[in-house]
Amino acid sequence: MRRAPAAGRALARARAAAGRAVARVSGRALGPYQSAVVRIGFSATWLFFLLREFPHRAELYGPDGPWSFALAERLIASNHAFSVLMWSDSGLWFETVYALSVASALLLMLGWRTRASSAVFMVGVLSLQNRSVFMGDGGDNVIHLMAIYLVLTRCAQVWSLDARRARLRGSASAGAAGPVLWGVLGAVFAYGAVTDRFGYGWLAAFAALWVVCAVWWMADRYEPEGEGRAALDVLANLVHNAGLLVIMAEVCLIYATAGWYKIQGSRWQDGTALYYPLGLDYFTPWPGLSGVLAGSGTMVMLLSYGTVAVQVAFPFTVFNRRIKNVLLALMMLEHAGIAVLLGLPFFSMAMIAADAVFLPTPFLLWLGARAAGGVRRVRGVLPPAKAGPVRPVRSAV
- Provide the residue ranges of all domains of the chain, joining segments of one domain with +: 30-169+187-199, 240-360
* Poorest-pLDDT segment among 156-160, 214-218, 245-249: 214-218
Q: What is the C-alpha to C-alpha distance for residues 396 and 65, in angstroms, rounded to an integer?
A: 40
Is pTM, for the whole model, over 0.85? yes
Local confidence band at 93 (pLDDT 50, 70, 90 cut-offs): very high
- CA-CA-CA-CA dihedral for 291, 294, 295, 300, to nearest 10: 150
Q: What is the C-alpha to C-alpha distance for residues 343 and 26, in angstroms, rounded to an integer?
A: 43
Comparing C-alpha atoms, which of 148, 155, 176 is closest to residue 107? Answer: 155
| Cα four-point dihedral sign 85, 87, 92, 96 | negative
What's the alpha-carbon Rg for the chain, to the nearest Å? 24
Predicted confidence (pLDDT) at residue 395 exceeds the cutoff of 70: no
Predicted confidence (pLDDT) at residue 145 exceeds the cutoff of 90: yes
Higher local confidence (pLDDT), 135 or 259: 259
Task: Summarize the chain as % helix, strand, coil (round to 5).
Answer: 75, 0, 25
Q: What is the C-alpha to C-alpha distance for residues 71 and 1, in angstroms, rounded to an integer?
A: 77
CA-CA distances (angstroms) from residue 366 to 33, 163, 167?
11, 19, 21
Best mean pLDDT range from 23-37, 99-113, 218-232: 99-113
Encode pLDDT of 255-291 as tens digits: 999 999 999 999 999 999 999 998 888 888 999 999 9
Local confidence band at 34 (pLDDT 50, 70, 90 cut-offs): very high
Average pLDDT, stretch 243-264?
94
Predicted confidence (pLDDT) at residue 173 exceeds the cutoff of 90: no
Q: Name the H helices within 264-313.
A: 266-269, 287-294, 297-313
pLDDT of residue 177: 80
pLDDT of residue 19: 66
| Amino acid (one-letter) located at 297 | G
Average pLDDT, stretch 137-144?
89
Local confidence band at 385 (pLDDT 50, 70, 90 cut-offs): very low
| Cα four-point dihedral sign 41, 42, 45, 46 | negative
* Poorest-pLDDT segment among 12-16, 325-329, 332-336, 365-369: 12-16
